[in-house]
């Protein structure tokens, strides 16, 4: 299924995040993270934020982390981020 979507994307030149629910992540400096196609918040604390995405989890660590805006389409996180990683399973 994923491969078919990728093929359609290359043929039609549509972005992947439009065709499938692949997350699109924009990081501006170490203060702003913008995530499209998320699947909700798993953990939310000022030091650690875990966002559920299609392929697993996106973990952002830092200080004073806030959710500036959240809706069905995107999450906009602000704060002072120190690390950012993807994880398949959350231990």
Partner 1 sequence: MIYISKVWKFIQGYVIISIKGYNIEKLINKAIQSEISLYDIEKGINSAKLTIIPAEFKNFSRLAKKYKCKIKILNKNGLFRFMLFIRLNLLYIAGIAMSAVLIYFLTQRVWIINITGNSQLDKTSILNTCSNDGLYFGCNKNLLDCKKVAENLKIKYKNISWINISLKGAAVHIKLSEGKENTSKEVNGNPCNIVSLYDCQIASIVTDKGTPQVKKNDIVKAGDTLISARLIPSGNEENPVTDIVKAQGIVRGIVKRNISFTIPFNTKEKQYTGKVKNQYTIKFFNKSFNLKSKIPFEQKDTYKEVVQLKIGESCPLPIYICKDINKEFIYTPVKTDINTAKKTAEKKITEHIIENYSIDSDIISVNKKMQSTENSLQVSCEIISEENIGKEELYENTGGNSSDGPKENSNIS
Which residues would be at the binding site for partner 1 (CB under 8 A)?
Answer: 40-46, 66-72, 76
Least distance from partner 1 to the Cβ atom of residue 62, Å: 13
Least distance from partner 1 to the Cβ atom of residue 70, Å: 5
Tokens in use for 69?
């805006």
Tokens in use for 68?
């500036």
Least distance from partner 1 to the Cβ atom of residue 50, Å: 9
Nearer to partner 1, 19 or 41 (CB): 41
User: Beta strands of the chain (E only): which ranges?
Assistant: 24-28, 32-36, 41-44, 48-53, 56-70, 74-87
């Amino acid at each position: 299924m994923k491969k078919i979507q990728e093929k359609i994307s290359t043929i039609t030149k549509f972005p992947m995040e439009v065709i499938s629910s692949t997350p699109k992540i924009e990081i501006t400096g170490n203060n702003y993270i913008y995530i499209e196609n998320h699947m909700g918040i798993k953990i939310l604390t000022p030091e650690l934020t875990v966002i559920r995405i299609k392929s697993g989890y996106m973990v952002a660590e830092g200080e004073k982390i806030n959710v500036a805006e959240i809706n069905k389409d995107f999450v906009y996180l602000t704060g002072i981020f120190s690390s950012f990683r993807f994880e398949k399973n959350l231990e």
